[in-house]
Amino acid sequence: MNKKARNIGIEVMQVPTQGSSTDKHDPFFSSLSLRGMALVGKVISSKAARTVKIELERLFPLPKYERFEKRRTRLLVHNPDSVNAQVGDIVKVMECRPISKTKNFVIIEVIKKHEST
């Protein structure tokens, strides 16, 4: 079944051309609505089915020492068949309704593909 991708309301560089009819959590080819935060992170694991773990780095201020320290946050994110991000990719994720106990975000685009050497 070849459906046309719907407009998700967020500007993405590449809109997927085809998706899976079995993935009901695909923002482009199902009715999953997006809201809230948009974050950019790096995929560090893709062992689970349609789920990837991403890592977000941020600078946290230490007022006592007048410096910043690096901190990281790891999120479990839904990886739709139409996007199919791999380990090492830089991805843009968007908040959505809870998909499972730990997944509240979905990948909407791959910003930079990982070059395999």
CA–CA separation, 11 vs 94, rounded Å? Answer: 12
pTM greater than 0.75 (yes/no): yes
Segment 45-103, tens digit of pLDDT = 999 999 999 999 999 999 999 999 999 999 999 999 888 899 999 999 999 999 999 99
Q: What is the dihedral of CA 105, 83, 79, 3, to 10 degrees?
A: 90
Q: What is the mean pLDDT of the chain?
A: 88
Task: Show the tokens assigned to 33.
Answer: 């609505």
